[in-house]
């Protein structure tokens, strides 16, 4: 292994260790300012819109959705871990759960966060705008909004643009998978990607001595 390998990185990478109280502090804030408003916005439009099928609140073709999830989830999990490692080597810092308990605690939140973000960005924005503007335009707008909104959380631009690796394929899947639009498959894949990039993924990188 050359000089730029993990042994060098272990000495130069700044690890910000978190525990459950640290994670709960930002999760509680996220629940109030993002998760609950996203859920309320989706529910409000769903109740009012007579063309609600476009919003994806169905299982779609269940077999197709589950096959997509079974293939996409491990691929996106692995890709997210790799991207996080690559970005960590560039930025020289990483937030890492100090224990498996905190990694699992964060993963529990991502089980909520993934479906809610998919409902808002893929269902409400992409699906809703698709009825008015057509699917190609709504896919482009929803994906751009999804990527750029991460900047509101003060993510570095490199991390912000990395979210396109989730937004683009999941937006395409929501649009192109056979059957009625469904949030099922894309939500499962989203959970896997987030767990690879945040919380469990960085914890795994630390356990493997890659950071």
Mean pLDDT by 10 residues, the chain (211 residues): 36 89 96 96 90 92 98 98 96 95 98 97 95 92 95 89 96 96 98 98 96 91
Nearest to 74 by CA among 164, 169, 184, 195: 195
Q: What is the pLDDT of residue 5?
A: 34
Structure confidence at residue 153 (pLDDT)? 81
Q: Give the per-residue pLDDT at 8.
A: 35
With contact defined as beta carbons under 8 Å apart, do 89 and 9 qualify? yes
Residue 177 CA to residue 111 CA, distance in Å, equals: 22
Handedness of CA 6, 158, 164, 43 (dihedral sign): positive
Residue 173 contacts residue 87 (beta carbons within 8 Å): no
> Of 80, 104, 103, whose CA–CA distance to 159 is shortest?
80
- In sequence order, what DSSP letters do the residues of 54-98 get, joined into one string? GGT-S--SHHHHHHHHHHHHHHHHHHHHHHHHHHHHHHSEEEEES
Whether residue 26 contacts residue 155, with contact meaning beta carbons closer than 8 Å, is answered with no
């Amino acid at each position: 292994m050359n000089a730029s390998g993990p042994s060098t990185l272990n000495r130069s990478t700044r690890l910000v260790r978190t525990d459950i109280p640290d994670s709960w502090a930002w999760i509680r804030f996220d629940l109030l300012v993002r998760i609950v408003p996203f859920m309320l916005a989706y529910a409000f439009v769903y109740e009012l819109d007579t063309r609600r099928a476009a919003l994806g609140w169905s299982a779609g073709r269940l077999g197709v959705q589950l096959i997509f999830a079974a293939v996409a989830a491990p691929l996106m999990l692995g890709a997210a871990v790799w991207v996080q490692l690559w970005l960590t080597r560039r930025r020289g810092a990483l937030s890492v759960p100090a224990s498996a308990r905190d990694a699992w605690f964060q993963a529990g939140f991502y089980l909520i966060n993934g479906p809610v973000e998919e409902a808002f960005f893929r269902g409400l924005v992409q699906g809703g705008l698709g009825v008015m503007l057509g699917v190609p335009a709504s896919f482009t707008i929803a994906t751009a909004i999804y990527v750029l909104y991460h900047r509101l959380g003060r993510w570095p631009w490199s991390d912000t643009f990395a979210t396109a690796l989730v937004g683009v394929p999941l937006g395409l899947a929501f649009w192109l998978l056979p059957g009625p639009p469904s949030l099922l498959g894309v939500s499962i894949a989203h959970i896997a990607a987030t767990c690879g990039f945040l919380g469990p993924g960085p914890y795994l990188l630390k356990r493997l001595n890659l950071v």
